[in-house]
Homo-oligomer: A and B are copies of this chain.
Amino acid sequence: MVAQKLRVGIAGLGRMGKRHAINFHELTARANVVAASTPDYNERQWAAENLQGVQIFQDYDEMLEKADLEAVVIASVTAVHAEQALKAIKRGLHVLCEKPLSIDAEVAQSVVSAYEQSLKTYPQQKVMCAFSRRFDASYREAHERVNKGEFGSPVLFRSQTADLYDSSGFFVEYAKTSGGIFVDCSIHDIDLMLWFLGENRNIKSLQAVGVCAVHPGLEATNDRDNAIATVEFEGGKMAALYCSRMMAAGQEDTSEIICEKGSVRVNMQVRKNHVEIHDSQGARRELPQHYYERFREAFITEAYEFTACCLDNTPPPISLRSSVKAVSIGQALQRSLITGEKIYFDGRTIKN
């Protein structure tokens, strides 16, 4: 008997779309990429050369219509994430959607609602937001050990997403549609914060401050290039976040979960690989230059596990509700960052 392979369509073949396409097509034994869609001519050319045996569409709707799909991976521009997800959900397709579902929490919530409605018709349907760090081996070990109580109850979650400085003006351009540094950059830390401190835990207050240190152009879109935040949860837990677009050495994505009887640190000694140099500069190592260099393995695992949950009808590894909550928190932090106000959630709490 020949085992079934999940028939996957890829929406969008930009930087992340290409990676998802390759990961599902070549490195996920239980999946077959059967179709891909992108409005971009060059991306379709790339697909013709690199995705053997895959149907290429210019239009997403046409792909949904004509290709024989069981699942779609949405890696298009953020602005269409929700819309494309909704269309796929309506057809009963499994969906893996790149983060964020939307830069607007209400829009994101509409996807959750549609999915929950759709489950009545397609009870085996899986819809998941692609928070890749949850598939990273180190974060997983950390979570497993914290979760089983090895260090007592967690008290403080500290985390940062810090990108390599880019002198090209990319970050300024990108900020026009990104939703701001807390929605775009910190969304991973926020997702991890919920994972480690409790996805159902209510937030009491949050607060952020930030600056434009090296990208003054960000002021125009009410964004910042460095920001710090504190988040206060019910039940005596809290979080401290940092996001930056200014790192000189590379991508510095680190987290620390400080518990009552010990702490777990992920990637606090950032390093690209196992090489260390001793020379007239001292003892030194290099850092990953981009998030993909750090998290490549996690993306492959994500593809593998998303495929498995679809084929085996097991629960998706990440709750869609939690992903929407992350967007809500990101938006609130961004608002605090710009207004300078601390936001309290008594009564009108950010709840699960």
Interface on A for B, CB 8 Å cutoff?
Answer: 2-3, 25-27, 29, 52-53, 136-138, 141-142, 145, 151, 153, 155-156, 158, 205, 207-214, 226, 228-230, 232, 236-238, 240, 242, 244, 246-250, 252, 258, 260-271, 273-287, 340-342, 344
Contacts and interface: CB of A to CB of B under 8 A. Distances in A.
Contacts of A52: 2-3
B247 A264 contact: no
B29 A248 contact: no
A156 B242 contact: yes
15 contacts: A138-B273, A247-B278, A248-B261, A250-B282, A252-B278, A262-B277, A265-B278, A266-B275, A266-B276, A268-B276, A269-B276, A281-B284, A283-B285, A284-B285, A342-B342
Contacts of A263: 247-249, 277-279
A209 B232 contact: yes
A280 B268 contact: no
B260 A278 contact: no
Given A238-B211, A342-B341, A249 B279 contact: yes
Contact of A155 (B158, B246, B274): B246
A284 B247 CA distance: 15
Contact of A230 (B53, B207, B232, B281): B207
A273 B2 contact: no
B29 A279 contact: no
A160 to B, nearest CB: 10
A283 B342 contact: no
A153 B261 CA distance: 33
B273 A141 contact: yes
Contacts of A237: 211
Contact of A266 (B2, B262, B274): B274
Given A138-B274, A212-B236, A261 B249 contact: no
Contacts of A247: 263, 278
B287 A249 contact: no
